[in-house]
Structure 1
Amino acid sequence: MSPARCAPRIWPSRTPAVPARRNDPAAAGPPLGEFGRIERFFKPLAAGFPGARGLADDAAVFGVPAGKELVVTTDAMVAGVHFLPDDHPADIAAKLLRTNLSDLAAMAAEPLAYTLVTALPRGLGEEWLAAFAAGLAADQERFGIALAGGDSVGTSGPITLSVTAFGLVPAGRAVPRWGGRAGDCLFVTGTIGDATLGLDIALGRRVVEDVAVRESLLARLRRPDPRTTLGPRLAGLATAMLDVSDGLVADLGHLCAESGLSAVVEAAKVPLSPAARALAGGDSAVLARLLTGGDDYELLFSAPAGARPALQDLALRTGVPVTGIGRLEAGEAGAVTVLDAGGAPLALPRRGWEHF
């Protein structure tokens, strides 16, 4: 991270939380300043990636192995828009990195490295940054990725963070959004809607008395689980793929638009966690919210019907559930019809999250 050369989801604004770590050595002594912060908090994150050059230069230098292509993605997060400003810094770090890893998985790419830009309020203490870096370190080890560089600046606005992640995929094997074919089946990993319920809980819009259920739903919001073990193995099986960030219906619409097709989804087949199914209680309006709420970060992809046995085998080997939920059809590009249990179109007040 070279020093700066120049100085789903509108949520309430709150004062950034500072973890209680009174004995943390990072909180002792005079302020570190920009270079000191880089040395203490970010240089250790780059130790596992030789191309980072110890963060001593203005840029990273690395090659792409023969037979591979580089996949690059960038996602930003802003306090009060993508996370609650008083969320724990380690949770914020995890979500920031994992949303980018999910994009790599959706292209069938293996994680390689990432760069990080932090724009932090000047009054935000080093204790916050220490917890944030610790969160990144934990996920780097879990997902096999390392810091390659970036930038750090001060801001008078809210916390703003951005990651650019790099991944590797065998040449010509990246899975696009536009490869779907009429007659392909639609599949989704994991479960849908938990993060929407987690947001309701975080904002006080829903009270869940069961502590285990409440914490599991909040965890799905704060720490999504990018499908990095399955995504790269879908190369050659999936015809089109993306991850569900803006809502299942909205993101399926993007896949359909790029593929020039329409889609039909059977709501009863969409996988819900036991908690989500219980809280939905058969209410079609709640179900519609779960299908359009976003922040799931599950993989949504199309594949020929004949790929089902291979997908079932991959699901068993990776431990990532894969569920068939519908099909692609010839029709209006981008149109998505969701059918209820009786086969009638489900009313959807909106398709998903829109930033503008």
Structure 2
Amino acid sequence: MKRAGEFSLIDFFLSHFPRPRVPVGPGDDCAVLAPSRGAQCITTDAVVEDVHFTRAWFSPEDIGHKALAVNLSDLASMGARPRWFVCALALPRDYPRPALGGIARGMSALARTHGIALVGGNFTSARELSITITAAGELPRGTAPLTRAGGRPGDVLYVSGTLGEARLGLSLLQAGRRRAPAILRQKRPEPRVALGRLASRYASAALDLSDGLAQDLGHLCAASRVGAELDLEALPLTPAVRAALGPEGALAGGEDYELLMAVPPERTSVFERACLRAEEAVTRVGRLTPDAMGRIRTGRGRAPRLPAGFDHFRRGRQGAD
């Protein structure tokens, strides 16, 4: 007997992924996993049409990549090793099968890169395309997770990579451009998984930059009950971002998916040497201060009105979770 359309689509999507090495994988009501004795880190995130991507600008491969990348970035910020994920797809009824295959290819390529296995999920119909992923990672036994709450006054602030390119890429897409390095950063962010695992040995606190450095640093300060000083001139910006947005604009640039890390001063030298050996680019951008109100200052003690990052419940541009 021929299967119904939903189950045919599920089989087609799963065919792009290797069979997971778990006790029970896709096909049952639940996946059954065999975790190690280390702590488990669980995250969930969604990418939604016309919020996180637009089909006119993003290929199906881009969409699949981004849906998984934003979850891997959360695992990276905790220092976790990615292990498993489940994927719930909401598809318009007329969504083309070749495009579904493109989503699967983009997602599975990134999954293979980071060694994370698809172990289950769900399909449903909807007015717009959305993908919700729940991902799980593991910490080595005896290793504490990196959280937002571990920062202390005097800790040195580092960011990975460069900032503001995803925001610039979005503005270029909105202006009709289709090819530029910044556009690739908007479409296919690269989660800093290896750096997160390295940083877990040195950092006191961390989080990923999904909503912009100004807003996400505010989250870290609030959780750690500290303030911060930023050196705007030290921000790692490409010439294109510096010209188009400047440091202040880059502070509000969501969807970079870089890591913000607070490292105790006595560990900074060894952390920088470890990053150099691992070819992980990090930049000192400031320090945490004993300001229980969580104020963020820039320059010579100035406390300007910092730009807000992305917020789903304010009107504005396409952006991140």
TM-score normalised over the length of structure 1:
0.82
Q: In the alignment, which residue of structure 2 is the partner of 1:36?
A: 8
Deviations 1:142-179 (A, max 9, x none): 11111010111001x21111111110112342111100
Instruction: Determine the structure 1 residue equivalent to 2:251.
Output: 291
CA displacement at 1:338 relative to structure 2: 2.6
Q: How many Å separate the matches in 2 of 1:147 and 1:52?
A: 13
Q: Which amino acid aligns with 1:165?
A: A
Q: Does 1:215 align with 2:186?
A: no
Root-mean-square deviation (CA), in Å?
Answer: 2.0
> Residue 347 of structure 1: CA displacement?
4.5
One-letter identity of the residue aligned with 2:17: L
1:51 alignment partner, SS class: coil
Counterpart Cα distance in 1 of 2:217 and 2:91: 35
- Provide TM-score, normalisation by structure 2: 0.91
Deviation digits for residues 111-146 of structure 1 (CA, Å, limit 9, x no counterpart): 101110000110111111011111112112211111
Question: Which AA in structure 2 matches 1:295?
Answer: E
Distance in 2 (alpha carbons) for counterparts of 1:261 and 1:40: 50
Quote how far apart the aligned CAs of 1:60 are. Answer: 0.7
1:278 to partner: Cα distance: 3.8
Q: Structure 1: which amino acid aligns with 2:48?
A: V
Q: Give, as a single letter, the amino acid of the residue that structure 1 aligns with 2:150.
A: G
Contact 1:46 1:55 in 2 (8 A): no
Which of 209, 221, 232 does residue 256 from structure 1 map onto?
221
Residue of structure 1 equivalent to 2:317: none
Q: Structure 1: where are the runs of 5+ without partners?
A: 1-29, 281-285
Q: Work out which of the residue numbers 53, 66, 73 in structure 2 matches 1:83.
A: 53
With over 3 angstroms needed to count, the CA separation of the structure-2 counterparts of 1:32 and 1:131, relative to structure 1, is: farther
Counting matched residue pairs gives 310
Look up the match of 1:323. 283
Counterpart residue number, 1:103:
74
Given the alignment, which residue of 292, 312, 317 partners 1:355? 312
Aligned to 1:333: 293
2: CA distance, partners of 1:150 / 1:261: 40
Q: Unaligned 5+ residue runs, structure 2?
A: 314-321
Q: Does 1:230 align with 2:195?
A: yes
1:64 Cα deviation after fit = 1.6
The yes-or-no answer on 1:167 pairing with 2:142 is: no
Quote how far apart the aligned CAs of 1:223 are: 0.7
**Which of residues 12, 27, 30 in structure 2 aligns to 1:59?**
30
Deviation digits for residues 170-221 of structure 1 (CA, Å, limit 9, x no counterpart): 234211110000111111000110111001001118x6xxx9xx52100111
Contact 2:233 2:247 in 1 (8 A): no
Counterpart CA distance in 2 for 1:290 and 1:219 is 17
Q: Deviations over 1:32-57 (max 9, x none)?
A: 7111111122244251x222735121
Deviation per residue, 1:260-296 (Å, 9 max, x gap): 111110100111123323434xxxxx43221112111
Q: State the identity %.
A: 38
1:173-184 → structure 2 map (5 Å cutoff) = 173-184=144-155
Match of 1:4 in 2: none
Task: Supply the distance in 2 between the matched residues of 1:85 and 1:299 (Cα, whole angstroms).
Answer: 28
What SS does structure 2 have at the residue aligned with 1:97?
A: helix
Structure 2 Cα separation of the partners of residues 64 and 317 of structure 1: 30
Deviation, structure 1 residue 346: 4.6
**What amino acid sits opposite 1:69 in the alignment?**
A
Q: Is the 8 A contact 1:43 1:55 kept in 2?
A: no
Q: 2: distance between equivalents of 1:76 and 1:42?
A: 19
Alignment check: 8 A CA contact 2:63 2:187 kept: yes
